[in-house]
Structure 1
Amino acid sequence: MTKREYDPWVVLGTLLLGMFVMAVGSTSVNTAVPAISDDIGATFDQLLWVINIYTLVLAVLVITAGRLGDLYGPKRLFIVGLTVFTAASVACGLAQSPTQLIAARFVQAIGGALVSPQSLSMISKVFPPEKRGAALGVWGATAGAAVAIGPSLGGLIVSAWGWRWIFLVNVPICLFAVILAAVVIPSLGEVRKRRLDLLGSALATAALFLITYGLIEGKTHDWGPVWGPVTIPMVIGLGLVALAAFVHVERGRQDREPLLPLVILRNRNFSLMAAVTITLVGGVGAMLLLLSIYLQSALSLSAVAAGLIMAIAPAVSIAVAPVSGRLTDKVGGKPVLLVGLVLFAAGLLSIVVAAQAHTDWWNLLPGLVLVGVAMGVTFAPPLVIAMHDIDPAVAGAASGTLNTIRQFGATIGAAAVGALAQSQLASSLRDSAAGQADVLAPPLRDPFLDAMHRAADGGLRVGRGDLAIDVPPGLPETSVDALRAAAQSAFETGMASAVRATFLLPAGLLVLSIVLMTFVRRAASAPEPLPAQPSAVR
């Protein structure tokens, strides 16, 4: 049978279509939460699991899915994953109870995990080294567009047709993507009978589940008991034990198609970029979470307004990412990534300076634009550097590893910033309350300080800073207004101060990324893309 010619840019377009639908579908679910609660009676904990189950399953399965792509072909896994995602989207749209919806989201995440690592694997196989940067830049622009468009598009769909169409709208697009993939994507690499490392997959799944679950649920359970005497630290610790067992098992079966070929991790640039990915993704996630807290709690903006303001950065990255990718092809990934990290630092500094209480949101605009440019610049280079010297035969495992690391970076960043912001808020609210109490009349000071101390002890809240204050009876209306105004001012000032201090976390991660970049060595010649094989999936 003759080899079939293929256009790598058409292949890329097909991959991006599948990725875009999944990314938009994932980010738009948040906007449908109130409507879901009203329609099927979901509790707050159930709503959290509607969102978190997707993140959890994706983080757990993506490394195994990447290796499955190596063993059975990335085209096959891409089509199977899209098909599963499509069927699960129908189930989500037809769900009649929270339990049904959570179960359907679980299956939907399995489809997403099967698809996620295949795109990077196929890009590394169908594009020659000198064009991969441009391809990954377009990929980054598409990811940025999905992040920017998802919440707003979700809000429009919910308003016009209801929350069920958040999921049902995926169906025709995904079916088209399945047909297109079967026609235009070549079967890549050698076709022979292979076996999956079942023990390694079981250990990796257990380790990733326990660690990710602990990080996601830690704040909900105050990092204490979660099931009887079992605590969150115990869950994470057990996950680390399973991870150590996984590494031990994998070291002993490197000659028998392991789940994780250790030759990937022995590549210095790949390991360095894996570390940079954790710090960079964790830093970006921490920064965006802090911005959300600041805009809603310190500036008292609505969730919709905060979302639109935060979309500025990913919107800017859409225009920058393709340019960054082409530049990476010309001059290499290291200098481009270093420039991106410097721009990130400048944007972060600008946001910290502008993030004051009683200010206008547009003072954040220069920093958001700089961060958006940095996001676009820093997307392609780490992937190009990491995948440059990777053997195409293990590209799926490498892609799955990077995708898993990205998921962990975001999860760790969110967990760390939540804990740090919580501790900063407790002290900053007390300080701001002490300053505001001095300007109040003596009868008002005690109820004011009591209210602020309750707010400090009650935990971090995202939303408008309205505080419940016990107003002494018989006070004139002007004194009541003064008391509430002082409380609101103290809350906004304390929240702004806590957010600015917590920005030290993403700043520290950014510095660590720059330090790691100094150890990156100049890449050698990369393996050429694999030829197309006779199609195994019709």
Structure 2
Amino acid sequence: MNRETVHRRRWYILGVLNFSLLVVVLDNTILNVALKTIADPEAGLGATQSQLEWAINSYTLVFAGLLFTFGVIGDRLGRKRVLVAGMALFAVASLLSSYAQSPGQLIAARALMGLGGAAIMPQTLSIITNVFEPHERARAIGIWSGAVGLAIAIGPVTGGLLLQHFWWGSVFLINVPVIVLGAVLIALLVPESRNPDPGGLDPAGVLLSIAGLVTLSYGIIQGGERGAWLEPGVLGPIAAGLAVLAAFAWNEARIDHPAFDVRLFRDPRLSAAVAAIALCFFAASGMFFFTGFYLQSVRGLSALQSGAMLLPFAAAQLIFSTRSAAMVHRFGARAVCTAGLLMIAAALATYPLIGVGTGTPLWALGVIFFVQGAGMANVMPPATESVMSALPREKAGAGSALNNTARQVAVAMGVAVLGSALAAIYRDRLAEPLAALPAGARAAAGESIEGAHAVAARLGAAGHGLAGQADAAFVEAMRTTAGGAAVVALLGALVVLKWMPGRAARDTPEPEGTDAASRERAGV
């Protein structure tokens, strides 16, 4: 496909790539709505709080650990080819997830989905970078980010509809027809491209990164599950994980073809942008993990109603993501990103006002979600454009992988840290009411709010008090955790304000090696 044809079709190509992106984002947003059902011993798999965390983190950790490698593989073998292969693998893993018979099988299948997602995500952004000229790239990336908002809107509502009529596995099975249609459109419209001088692979770095992240996450989740952070079974994995990650960083800084090029962080624009992405998603992801439990278990909403409650968040994403390029042009990336992170911090800071039962109107929750979505929509596009514009087009796969690695590691750590903090606070607040229960019931109720409701249901009339106490403990834990997340978002705003360049950055010329001849050699 010649350059002129690609230029004519560039907006259609963007649409197809965004459709492919829906598969990856849709899966996680649907899963958030389905967590309560999966935790149900009768309607689902009876998964505990820690198993639910691993169902999310097995995906995100494999995803994050392999993003950079698949970015390089796409640069080497062809981005279109790797994109289609990743979608096929994602389809197979979705089928396995939908028919999992135990939490362990679901966790393993989700890890395989992370492998497919890692092949898909970096190719979409690197193809966009190669297809669009610099003067249109910011707008295209804004639309790409807006597609995330669309998936956030579609995911929870679709998940709610599916759970209303089918079994929990249908939330994964829905991926298959989306993938088939996406693969056909990719074959027809998307051009092949590759880096004429790709880097080598780094299997040692990939293994070290995954081992370090998994071990660290295991220690953090164990701390939340046990409610004791100073035990050897908690401190040991955390220390080991940090040591492995330190070895990973040392290895990546000294080899020629690293899986994750830490030397890229010498560029302050890139490092500040990556920090903004990471802190933004760390703060937001943990909150979304337990928002579904609050809406369904505490407020008594159905899965469909719970999904509909996230529509304001998605609407804000769609509205503001597509306008971010104009905002950056007028005010500069630093101002827009800082304002976005402050909006996220403000939204999270209002969570302590949320009450138990019907005390907080649902419209007020919708306003909070809208502000949070608007904040994220003003962080992601300018930060992503800062990352991509700091690298030449030939390294678009590496830049895309760097951007998405930061996001996925932040999601994994956010779910692990904030989820574990919430679990520990919840268990501590519920310790006294549970003291009179038998050991088995006490353990089940302390695992999660769904476990407490199941125990309360078995107790009959005597269980009404326990259900109310569990709701109160969960809401108090959510309030405290949200306060910590707000502090993280505020820290992100300070980092961006200090180190991200202002309006002058938009006039920075494209890095050397991105002229027409270079692009022709890259096959675009």
**Which TM bucket (shorter chain)?**
0.7 to 0.9
Mapped contact 2:336–2:378 kept (Cα < 8 A): yes
- 1:70 is aligned to 2:75: yes
- With over 3 angstroms needed to count, the CA separation of the structure-2 counterparts of 1:39 and 1:176, relative to structure 1, is farther
Once the 2 structures are TM-superposed, how far is the Cα of residue 239 of structure 1 from its aligned partner?
Answer: 2.7
1:18 maps to 20
Once the 2 structures are TM-superposed, how far is the Cα of residue 512 of structure 1 from its aligned partner?
Answer: 0.3
- With over 3 angstroms needed to count, the CA separation of the structure-2 counterparts of 1:113 and 1:223, relative to structure 1, is farther
Once the 2 structures are TM-superposed, how far is the Cα of residue 490 of structure 1 from its aligned partner?
Answer: 5.8
Pick from 509, 519, 538: which aligns with 2:488?
A: 509
AA partner of residue 157 (structure 1): L
Task: Give runs of aligned pairs for residues 524-535 of structure 1, distance below 5 A.
Answer: 524-527=508-511, 528=514, 533=520
- 1:377 is aligned to 2:378: yes
- With over 3 angstroms needed to count, the CA separation of the structure-2 counterparts of 1:240 and 1:319, relative to structure 1, is same
For 2:109 and 2:348, the matched residues in 1 are separated by 39
Q: Structure 1 or 2: larger helix share?
A: 2
For 1:47 and 1:426, the matched residues in 2 are separated by 16
Mapped contact 1:3–1:532 kept (Cα < 8 A): no
| Larger mean Cα displacement after TM superposition, 294-303 or 133-142 | 294-303
**% of aligned pairs identical?**
28
Mapped contact 1:296–1:462 kept (Cα < 8 A): no
Once the 2 structures are TM-superposed, how far is the Cα of residue 114 of structure 1 from its aligned partner?
Answer: 0.8
2:449 maps to 462
2:284 maps to 284
| Larger mean Cα displacement after TM superposition, 98-107 or 207-216 | 98-107
- With over 3 angstroms needed to count, the CA separation of the structure-2 counterparts of 1:366 and 1:533, relative to structure 1, is same
Q: Deviations over 1:462-500 (max 9, x none)?
A: 35976979xxxxxxxxxx99x988776666555544433
1:258 maps to 258
For 1:188 and 1:422, the matched residues in 2 are separated by 46
Task: Give runs of aligned pairs for residues 478-493 of structure 1, distance below 5 A.
Answer: none
Mapped contact 1:54–1:105 kept (Cα < 8 A): yes
1:521 maps to 501
The structure with the larger Rg is 1
2:162 maps to 157
Q: Deviations over 1:423-482 (max 9, x none)?
A: 54467669xx9xxxxxxxxxxxxx99968xx9899647335976979xxxxxxxxxx99x
Mapped contact 1:65–1:113 kept (Cα < 8 A): yes
1:473 maps to none
- TM (normalized to structure 2)? 0.80
Task: Give runs of aligned pairs for residues 106-185 of structure 1, distance below 5 A.
Answer: 106-160=111-165, 162=167, 165-185=170-190
Q: Deviations over 1:60-91 (max 9, x none)?
A: 22222122223333223212212222344455
Mapped contact 2:78–2:194 kept (Cα < 8 A): yes
For 2:296 and 2:344, the matched residues in 1 are separated by 23
1:337 maps to 337
1:403 maps to 404
Once the 2 structures are TM-superposed, how far is the Cα of residue 52 of structure 1 from its aligned partner?
Answer: 4.6
Task: Give runs of aligned pairs for residues 178-197 of structure 1, distance below 5 A.
Answer: 178-191=183-196, 195-197=200-202
Once the 2 structures are TM-superposed, how far is the Cα of residue 50 of structure 1 from its aligned partner?
Answer: 5.4
1:200 maps to 205
For 1:287 and 1:162, the matched residues in 2 are separated by 26
Q: Deviations over 1:499-538 (max 9, x none)?
A: 333322122112101110122124222335776558989x
Q: Secondary structure at the match of 2:158?
A: helix
Mapped contact 2:338–2:496 kept (Cα < 8 A): yes
1:275 maps to 275
2:367 maps to 366
1:440 maps to none
| Larger mean Cα displacement after TM superposition, 395-404 or 159-168 | 159-168
- With over 3 angstroms needed to count, the CA separation of the structure-2 counterparts of 1:5 and 1:345, relative to structure 1, is same
Mapped contact 2:142–2:325 kept (Cα < 8 A): yes
For 1:243 and 1:151, the matched residues in 2 are separated by 34
1:444 maps to none
| Larger mean Cα displacement after TM superposition, 294-303 or 527-536 | 527-536
Once the 2 structures are TM-superposed, how far is the Cα of residue 268 of structure 1 from its aligned partner?
Answer: 1.0
Once the 2 structures are TM-superposed, how far is the Cα of residue 283 of structure 1 from its aligned partner?
Answer: 1.1
- With over 3 angstroms needed to count, the CA separation of the structure-2 counterparts of 1:252 and 1:124, relative to structure 1, is same
Pick from 8, 11, 21: which aligns with 1:9?
A: 11
RMSD: 4.2
Mapped contact 2:193–2:523 kept (Cα < 8 A): no
2:320 maps to 320
For 2:113 and 2:477, the matched residues in 1 are separated by 37
The alignment covers a number of residue pairs equal to: 504
Q: Secondary structure at the match of 2:501?
A: coil
Q: Deviations over 1:128-147 (max 9, x none)?
A: 33323322222222112212
Q: Deviations over 1:236-281 (max 9, x none)?
A: 332322222222222222xx33323344111112112222222211
- With over 3 angstroms needed to count, the CA separation of the structure-2 counterparts of 1:356 and 1:106, relative to structure 1, is closer
For 2:4 and 2:104, the matched residues in 1 are separated by 46
AA partner of residue 113 (structure 1): A
- TM (normalized to structure 1)? 0.78
For 1:278 and 1:384, the matched residues in 2 are separated by 15
AA partner of residue 47 (structure 2): F
AA partner of residue 525 (structure 1): P
Q: Secondary structure at the match of 1:149?
A: helix
Mapped contact 2:67–2:404 kept (Cα < 8 A): yes
Q: Secondary structure at the match of 1:510?
A: helix
Unaligned runs of 5+ in 1: 434-446, 470-479
- With over 3 angstroms needed to count, the CA separation of the structure-2 counterparts of 1:83 and 1:300, relative to structure 1, is closer
Unaligned runs of 5+ in 2: none
AA partner of residue 400 (structure 1): A
Q: Secondary structure at the match of 1:503?
A: helix
Once the 2 structures are TM-superposed, how far is the Cα of residue 100 of structure 1 from its aligned partner?
Answer: 6.6
Q: Secondary structure at the match of 1:195?
A: coil
For 1:408 and 1:199, the matched residues in 2 are separated by 18
Mapped contact 1:157–1:166 kept (Cα < 8 A): yes
